[in-house]
Structure 1
Amino acid sequence: MRKNTTVINALYGIVVTLILAVVSITITNVLPNGYIGASVLAMLIGMVFHPLVKKLLPSFTGIDLVAKRLLKVSIVLMGASLSLTQVVEVGKFSLIVMVFTLATAFIFGNLIGKWFNMDWKLSNLISVGTGVCGGSAIAAVSPIIKAKDEDIAYALSATFIFDILMVVLFPIAGQFFGMTDLGFGLWTGTAINDTSSVVAASYAFSEAAGNYAVIVKLTRTLAIVPIVFIYSIVNQRIEQKARQSDESSDATFKLTSVIPWFILFFLIMVILRSVGVISAEFGSSLSSVSKFFMVMSLGAIGLRTNFKSVAQSGILPMVHGFIISMLVVIVSFVIQVILGQV
């Protein structure tokens, strides 16, 4: 009887996140120019309804399941939309720009985070979201470093607010600087975080710029793989150091603890897509499922998050995110000028 009750309670939570995902996607499709991604919207709506859901649902079992398990499944399926050949198609110039923008996000992100006396997990989630690919990267790294729901919500909010500004300002700046379609696509694909915002800003400039920006953005997403492995090692070292004073705990380094298996499956999906085992059509279908699961997962994180707890982090993390985002925008543009792409 107790087992049946647990299953029913879990189903309640799953149904709630499913409805939230459908509503968020519907609203996003109605809004013009894709100014807000469905994942971010689902998280924000979830935070608003957190107090109500907490009162009505008998338990958060189903919501926890979606937030933790389904999130990893969505990351794995995302690999079906990516191909290693895209790296070659994008070309050496975009890869050079990405190296500099990633270095900027992580180096200055950590320096400013320490200066602001921020928790390292929140600081690095903002850096990951800014440097790699917004919500997808934050979602991939958060379980690795065992980030709190409040930190995930804040990091997503920080990158989202900046993206909203860039969707409006980037096309204006591109026209002002007289950028080519290629240059603007590269700038947008490497400097704006969320995919929906990249699409909105780049296609507002021209269709050619939009097509190029999407390829750059997808290639940028592949950086998730090495970054997640690095954070796995870093988090393992930090936890190992924290346990050293406890003689009863095992403080030895364990390779199995730093291998995020869902990222290995993500990489397998990328390889299968690259060699043609997964066709472009099937890969597109799996990508759509991945995006839906991502919306459900981030909506579940929103439902688990108390807005007051997020607000307690203060304004400094938001300033941190804004500074890092501006630095990435500037570095991307400067490197292109040096390479003669603008």
Structure 2
Amino acid sequence: MTTPNENPPKKSILDKTITTREVIFMFFVVLCLSPLISPPIALLMGLVIAQFIGHPYLNLNHKATHILLQVSVVGLGFGMNVHSALQAGKEGFTLTIISIIGTLILGVFLGKVLKIEEKISFLIASGTAICGGSAIAAISPVIKANEKQISVALGTIFILNSVALVIFPFIGHYLNLSESQFGLWCAIAIHDTSSVVGAAGKYGTHALEVATTVKLARALWIIPIALLSTFIFKNKETKIKIPYFIGLFILAMIANTYVPLIQDFSHYITGFAKATLTLTLFLIGCGLSRKVLVSVGFKPLVQGIALWMVISAGTLWAIISLI
């Protein structure tokens, strides 16, 4: 005869209760997908969640933001015109080359002056010069950076992205920048594509078009910089990851420009893309926990701020003077 302890009743699915933290998190996820929340507010909400509640799915956060950002960028391509994009890319080409080379050189110099670990310094410089977290993710395996080095570089970049997303539109309106000027400034001076699109989208439709096009053209510089990195760090074995979603973004623009049927539905696609971008920024904020903020350290943050201020001020002066 069996006792009750020998065959305990199986737990039903209902017994697997959802925690309060998960309920709060999912509420904010749904809220970010609504038109009520702007990208800067979404980022702020994410930061609040990270500091006071905690991300219930932190182990999935990086992958989720990576996928959502790519989906958002491709979706925004359906709201853009090829001819306008080519003009925007042409305007920003010279500034892009000068700013990338200048930022990398200055970044390496500051790293040596501040005595920052060489790989951390190079990752921060690369992230600032090209496209933030995407550049760091692509270059880190090429130079064989460890988890600590990657997290410090990413933390530095994400902190400054959060600030840029809020203050850039304010500065743009204060200086009466045109949408074309502001979009170009965002694309060059803000690190991550997500924050570039968030800030430019708040400023205006044309600003968004210019910023996205120039930023994604800038992101292609990951390839030559990664190749250069293999020689600097003497590692010729690692394969370089090419950002394939940029090709999909270009195809989306072409379809929106030349296929009338696509144009009839493009506003629905871009609306969805803007919602997923807002959610992406919320998740990025959720990932900036106290642990991440503390891990950055003083010197890498000084390097990141100095680089960011130089590229922001220098680019702004050039844009106002030349465009």
Q: Scaled by the length of structure 1, what TM-score is found?
A: 0.62
> Which residue of structure 2 lines up, in the alignment, with residue 245 of structure 1?
none
Residues 173-204 of structure 1: CA distance to partner in whole angstroms, max 9, x if unpaired? x36xxx8x58854774556533443466xx6x
- Return the letter of the residue paired with 2:160: A
Distance, in Å, in 2 between the alignment partners of 1:235 and 1:13 is: 42
Superposition map of 1:109-148 within 5 A: 109-116=107-114, 117=116, 120=119, 124=123, 128=127, 137-145=131-139, 148=150
> Which residue of structure 2 lines up, in the alignment, with residue 229 of structure 1?
223
> Which residue of structure 1 lines up, in the alignment, with residue 9 of structure 2?
none
Contact 1:273–1:283 under 8 Å retained in 2: yes
- Return the letter of the residue paired with 2:296: S
Distance, in Å, in 2 between the alignment partners of 1:168 and 1:78 is: 23
Contact 1:21–1:42 under 8 Å retained in 2: no
> Which residue of structure 2 lines up, in the alignment, with residue 258 of structure 1?
241
* Aligned counterpart for 2:85 among listed residues 75, 84, 87: 87
Instruction: Return the offset for 1:311.
Output: 1.5
Give percent identity, aligned residues only. Answer: 16
Distance, in Å, in 2 between the alignment partners of 1:63 and 1:100 is: 34
- Return the letter of the residue paired with 1:138: G
- The alpha-carbon distance between structure 1 residues 310 and 98, as it changes in their structure 2 partners (threshold 3 A), is same
> Which residue of structure 2 lines up, in the alignment, with residue 314 of structure 1?
297
- The alpha-carbon distance between structure 1 residues 324 and 19, as it changes in their structure 2 partners (threshold 3 A), is same
Instruction: Return the offset for 1:226.
Output: 0.9
- Return the letter of the residue paired with 1:20: F
> Which residue of structure 2 lines up, in the alignment, with residue 207 of structure 1?
none
> Which residue of structure 2 lines up, in the alignment, with residue 287 of structure 1?
270
Distance, in Å, in 1 between the alignment partners of 2:17 and 2:61 is: 10
> Which residue of structure 2 lines up, in the alignment, with residue 100 of structure 1?
98
- Return the letter of the residue paired with 1:47: A
Contact 1:42–1:298 under 8 Å retained in 2: no
Instruction: Return the offset for 1:303.
Output: 4.2
- Return the letter of the residue paired with 2:213: T
Superposition map of 1:241-252 within 5 A: 241=235, 252=237
- Return the letter of the residue paired with 1:105: T
Superposition map of 1:158-173 within 5 A: 158-172=160-174
- Return the letter of the residue paired with 2:157: A
Contact 1:24–1:38 under 8 Å retained in 2: no
Count matched residues.
Answer: 295
More helix by share: 1
> Which residue of structure 1 lines up, in the alignment, with residue 159 of structure 2?
157
RMSD: 4.6
Gap regions ≥5 residues in structure 2? 1-12, 141-146, 191-195
Q: Scaled by the length of structure 2, what TM-score is found?
A: 0.65
Gap regions ≥5 residues in structure 1? 204-209, 242-250
- Return the letter of the residue paired with 2:310: L
SS at match of 2:132: helix
Instruction: Return the offset for 1:299.
Output: 3.8
> Which residue of structure 2 lines up, in the alignment, with residue 247 of structure 1?
none
Contact 2:216–2:246 under 8 Å retained in 1: no
Superposition map of 1:209-224 within 5 A: 213-224=207-218
Instruction: Return the offset for 1:21.
Output: 3.2
SS at match of 1:222: helix
Distance, in Å, in 2 between the alignment partners of 1:102 and 1:278 is: 39
